[in-house]
């Protein structure tokens, strides 16, 4: 049994630990970059949801004008304007400032309301 080896040598253990630490370092770096990216996306997502709610509320109104206010603690502004190509189409733009200070813009197009003429038919 003098020629048989049992276990690993110190060099083999050190090489294995060095390789393991390199792999672990790459994995942790990738995970941390995803966490940072996710932290940046969450406030933008909240602002997008607020802009959607503001536009839905504005679309429910028969006459939409420019307005501003606050939705879920985030300041917003709605801008209503006619489309130059066809004045029957109106563009509504909602701008919500996210918690991180970045503005989020969402727009929608709709035909102008003819509700006042609907009752006379």
Identify which has the larger pLDDT, 42 or 11: 11
Whether residue 89 contacts residue 83, with contact meaning beta carbons closer than 8 Å, is answered with: yes
Confidence of residue 62 (pLDDT cuts 50, 70, 90): low
**What pLDDT does 105 receive?**
92
In which domain, by residue range, is 85 found? 10-113
Give residue-wise pLDDT tens across range 5-30. Answer: 788 899 999 999 999 999 999 999 99
Q: Residue 121 pLDDT > 70, yes or no?
A: no
pLDDT, position 89: 87
74 assigned to some structural domain: yes
**Long-range contact pairs involving 74-77 (C-beta distance under 8 Å, separation at least 24):** 74/46, 74/47, 74/50, 74/98, 74/99, 76/50, 76/51
**Domain assignment present for 118:** no
Does residue 120 lie within any of the structural domains? no
In a domain, 31, yes or no: yes
Q: What is the pLDDT of residues 79-119, one digit of tens each?
A: 888 888 888 888 889 999 998 888 999 998 888 765 444 44
**Is residue 4, in this structure, part of any structural domain at all?**
no
Q: Distance (Å, rounded) from C-alpha 119 to C-alpha 121? A: 6
Domain count, the chain: 1
Residue 1 reports pLDDT greater than 80:
no
Please state, in angstroms and rounded to a whole number, the distance separating the CA atoms of residues 3 and 31.
46
Closest of 108, 85, 83, 96 to residue 46, by C-alpha:
96
Q: Give the C-alpha separation, 51 to 116, whole Å.
A: 28
Q: What is the largest CA-CA distance in the chain?
A: 109
- For the whole model, what pTM was predicted? 0.60
């Amino acid at each position: 049994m003098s020629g048989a080896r049992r276990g690993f040598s110190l060099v083999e253990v050190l090489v294995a630990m060095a390789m393991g630490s390199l792999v672990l370092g790459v994995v942790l770096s990738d995970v941390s970059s995803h966490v940072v990216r996710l932290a940046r996306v969450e406030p933008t997502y909240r602002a997008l949801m607020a802009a959607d709610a503001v536009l839905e509320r504005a679309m429910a109104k028969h006459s939409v004008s420019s307005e501003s206010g606050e939705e879920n603690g985030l300041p917003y502004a709605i801008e209503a304007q006619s489309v130059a190509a066809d004045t029957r189409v109106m563009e509504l733009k909602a701008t919500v400032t996210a918690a991180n200070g970045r503005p989020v813009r969402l727009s929608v197009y709709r035909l102008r309301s003819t509700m006042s003429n609907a009752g006379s038919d």
